[in-house]
């Protein structure tokens, strides 16, 4: 069975601090994709990144970086020098398009990040 675990329910930091959001996934499929989404108070999901299971390269996009480690089944997300606008709920998600789950996304429970000025 596929599963995504985000153990951190809430994180509170002060502006300019670095913060890492953890994501651990479970799947027996060898082909899968991992995602991070941001959900601000407005509710609309904002796509941040997609990573396939064959590409373990870490990625950096501005203040955002992602660490994908298949050995520990983790796909962690780090925000450097956090800002108040980063306050949101962040979801990690998994899809195994070639399994019997098809294109269904499996979401983690979400981590609510609060960045205080």
By CB under 8 A, name the binding residues for another protein.
Answer: 33, 37, 42-45, 47, 50, 52, 91, 95, 97, 102-105, 107-110, 112
User: Whole-angstrom Cα distance, residue 17 to residue 114?
Assistant: 11
Q: How far is the CB of 82 from another protein (least distance, A)?
A: 21
Q: Which phi and psi (to 5°) does residue 72 adopt?
A: -115, 5
Q: How far is the CB of 63 from another protein (least distance, A)?
A: 23
Q: Which is nearer to another protein, 33 or 64 (CB)?
A: 33
Q: How far is the CB of 71 from another protein (least distance, A)?
A: 22
Q: How far is the CB of 87 from another protein (least distance, A)?
A: 15
Q: Which is nearer to another protein, 80 or 99 (CB)?
A: 99
User: Whole-angstrom Cα distance, residue 70 to residue 75?
Assistant: 8
Q: Which is nearer to another protein, 41 or 117 (CB)?
A: 41
Q: What are the distances in angstroms from CA 31 to CA 26, 52, 54, 73?
A: 12, 7, 7, 13
Nearest C-alpha neighbor of 68 from the set 110, 112, 36: 36
């Amino acid at each position: 069975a596929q599963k995504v675990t985000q153990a951190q329910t809430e994180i509170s930091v002060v502006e300019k601090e670095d913060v890492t959001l953890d994501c651990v996934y479970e799947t027996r499929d060898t082909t899968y994709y991992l995602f991070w989404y941001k959900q601000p108070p407005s509710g609309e999901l904002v796509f941040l990144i997609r990573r396939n299971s064959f590409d373990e390269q870490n990625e950096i996009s501005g203040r955002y970086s992602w660490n994908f480690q298949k050995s520990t089944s983790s796909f962690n997300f780090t925000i450097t020098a956090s800002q108040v606008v980063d306050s949101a709920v962040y979801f990690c998600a998994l899809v195994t398009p070639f399994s019997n789950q098809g294109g269904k996304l499996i979401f983690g429970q979400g981590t609510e990040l609060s960045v205080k000025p």
